[in-house]
Chains A and B, each alone.
Chain A
Amino acid sequence: MICQEISIKEIDFENETFRISEEVISAPLNESIRRIGQLNPVVLLKSDQSYRIVCGFRRLNALRQLNTPTVFARILESGSSGSLDFFDLALWDNLSHRQLDPLEKARVLYKLKNDFGVSDRMLIRIYLARMDLKPHKQVLRAHMVLHESHPDFRGHFKEGRLTQASMEYLSTVSSTSREIIASSLAKIHLSSSLQRKIFRLLDDLAAIAGAEPGKALEDPQVREVLNNPRLSPAQRGEKMYAILYRLRFPRVAQAEKLFMERKQSLGLPGSVRITPDPYFETPDLYVEFNAHDAERFRKLAAELFEASRKPELDRLFQID
């Protein structure tokens, strides 16, 4: 192995052919190099006028930020191997000391396929397993989608705010819808199950209206919720779901609202729970309360008796 000191000015930072890291700026690495200097050589590929980075994007960026004039590097000659061998080297180097995140794995697969011409079969058989992924074409497809997704969605995904399934769904919608959804997602926080439900509602509402999936998010009620500064991102997500549900299932939502109003009109304490049959399939009501002593029991039973004499009770059985 030949290692030598290279002037940092000779390195082509613009060429990212062999880049795997999603982030090339690392504060801890910067701090480490500032304190103790470069410990391990980076790997550079000699080209006509400059050097291309094979391994060490983050270290080199740190060294550049610290205005270090020279770097310690192992130099590869371009004639010694094909480009794919150099990329493989970069991949093994990364895998040897850290776990790649999903976006980085997606970047690797995308580059292997599109920049180095590796076949799907080889990607599935060799590279998926190498990166601890299941060797299946669906896994490959999902990662291609991930790499090509909207930058905002990639950001949400990296922060754990969008699931892989959501990323796949979002890859199927038009660019107009993607913009609308991306701007909405920036304002809310959704659990994975709520993501699934909301995207399904958006799809259904789009099919019903013959419109784009993003259209429903332009509803004035939705906009009002999204722009309400008093709500937390999670609250906005819940409320947005409730509005979309009402738009998709207007009669069910109306029945639920009526039931709540009529139940409240009975004036029962909160410890008495009255619930309808699921989706009002029958007029049956389930009444439940708990009492820790006889006195409490008598009090609640008396309140129920009082409620039973109110005409509002009849209306509670007439939800349709």
Chain B
Amino acid sequence: MDPYVPERILVQEESWQDDITSGILERLPGIEIRTVKSSDIRCTEQSVGIEAPLQDRNTLILMRYPGNFLKRCQGSGADICCNYYIVSCVWNCHLECTYCVLQSYLSGGALVACTNFDDLLKEVERTLKRSPQKIFRIGTGELSDSLALDPITGFSRRLVPFFAGLPNGYLELKTKSDCIANLEGLDHRGHTVVSWSVNSKRVCFSEEYKSPPLKERLEAALQCQKWGYKVGFHFDPIIHYADWESEYRETVRDIFRSVDPAGVAWISLGALRFPPHLIDVVKKRFPDSKIPYGEFVPGHHGKLRYFRPIREEIYGKMVSWIRKEDLQVPVYLCMESFTVWERCFGRQFCDASVLCEQLDKAVLGRQ
């Protein structure tokens, strides 16, 4: 995977005081740096960045994030939710997957890294201490790839040991990258799951064209297992196309041939869904992509998604292929309806508390 190297770095004036800033700048020598005023920074719930014309992926912004870092995953509105939390320290992504919702979700193209990392850690610690009996599964890969920028930010070297010290906190680093070098030698104490977004080889090649191929993602997963990390896999988004069955079947086989099944914390399945206006964005940005031409219908949450029988067919087959390889690994659906859960797993598993318990056990069980 080509490393991310920005053409310019914009540093918010207050961020010069933060260690994170100097660390990042040391790792990116010879790049144009400009200081920007706080008033030039735009920061809302939906968008973090700076006004045009510097809003593109060649710009890296280092800034103090003034909002709450820790939020409930947007899946909390789904019929059956895994009760996941997200913590954001990087916004946007340079991998530019054709289907990526960040194209429309974050209005600007610049990558943003927060420099007030201590605030993030304090907020997480405070929240977890308030509910000591509750297990918090927290991921960083919602508004960016968890590790793609890690060679520059080094955030994983702070997060992993920090979570190791939290009795009820478990970190998930969700990535498509092979940027795992920083994870070596960290004292994670089983509190970090490194997971990969995986897909059929064809989709990896055509729609995730800046990400490493499947083989390299699985090699990185195996390496993490060797360092003692639990790993996870997310088939998300699953794309429905003519040869999807044989090609996704192959990916399932490749996973279980590449890593130790006992060290797999979970596998999630999520068929492609996206806000309606993203179709036009994808058509414009990636005219060769076939993604916009699936049989999509409007869903309950305003997003387009595959027609339910198509999703049920996808999930049913995926679950059967996974179960042929391993009977134990927790498999769950992301952002799916009660109806689909029931038809895929049976009524007894259609319970959010059962799902949460299963996933909590997955992180607790193998410490």
> Could you list which residues of chain A lie within 8 angstroms of chain B, going by C-beta atoms?
204, 207-208, 249-252, 255, 278-283, 319-320
Contacts and interface: CB of A to CB of B under 8 A. Distances in A.
Contacts of B337: 281-282
Q: Is the interface of A mostly helix, strand, loop or mixed?
A: helix
18 contacts: A204-B292, A207-B292, A207-B293, A208-B290, A249-B297, A250-B295, A251-B310, A252-B297, A255-B307, A255-B309, A278-B297, A278-B298, A279-B298, A279-B308, A280-B309, A281-B299, A282-B308, A320-B308
Nearest to A250: B295
Residue with the highest number of chain B CB atoms closer than 10 Å, among A250, A281, A319 = A281
B337 to A, nearest CB: 7
How many B residues touch the partner, as a band? 10 to 19
A283 B308 CA distance: 10
A251 B306 CA distance: 10
Interface string B295-316: 1011110000001111010000
Contacts of B308: 279-282, 320
B206 interface: no
Interface of B: 290, 292-293, 295, 297-300, 307-310, 312, 337-339
Nearest to B305: A281
A251 B292 contact: no
B293 A251 contact: no
Contacts of A279: 297-298, 307-308
A285 to B, nearest CB: 13
A252 B310 CA distance: 10
Nearest to B343: A320
B307 A204 contact: no
A250 B308 CA distance: 13
B317 to A, nearest CB: 14
B122 to A, nearest CB: 42
B293 A252 contact: no
B339 A251 contact: no
Contacts of A283: 339
B300 A252 contact: no
Given A250-B295, A251-B309, A281-B308, A207 B290 contact: yes
B293 A204 contact: yes
A252 B307 contact: yes
Nearest to A252: B307
Given A281-B337, A282-B339, A251 B307 contact: yes
B339 A320 contact: no
A249 B298 contact: no
A135 B248 CA distance: 52
A283 B309 CA distance: 11
Contacts of A320: 308-309, 312
Given A208-B293, A251-B309, 16 more contacts: A249-B297, A249-B307, A251-B295, A252-B295, A252-B297, A255-B307, A279-B308, A280-B307, A280-B308, A281-B297, A281-B299, A281-B337, A282-B337, A283-B339, A319-B309, A320-B309
A96 B339 CA distance: 67
Contacts of B309: 251, 255, 280, 319-320
A67 B332 CA distance: 86
B344 to A, nearest CB: 13
A204 B279 CA distance: 11
A231 to B, nearest CB: 28
Contacts of B292: 204, 207
Contacts of B312: 320
A255 B313 CA distance: 15
Contact of A281 (B290, B293, B295, B300): B300
Contact of A249 (B295, B299, B339): B295
Top 9 nearest A-B pairs by Cβ distance? Answer: A320-B309, A279-B297, A282-B339, A208-B293, A252-B307, A249-B295, A251-B307, A207-B293, A281-B308
A283 B343 CA distance: 11
Contacts of B300: 281
A282 B338 CA distance: 9
Contacts of A252: 295, 297, 307
User: Which residue, A208, A278, A283, A320, has most C-beta atoms of chain B within 10 A?
Assistant: A320
Nearest to A249: B295
B245 to A, nearest CB: 16
Nearest to B79: A282
B225 to A, nearest CB: 39
Chain A CB within 10 A, most for which of B300, B307, B309, B339: B307
A250 to B, nearest CB: 7
Contacts of A251: 295, 307, 309-310
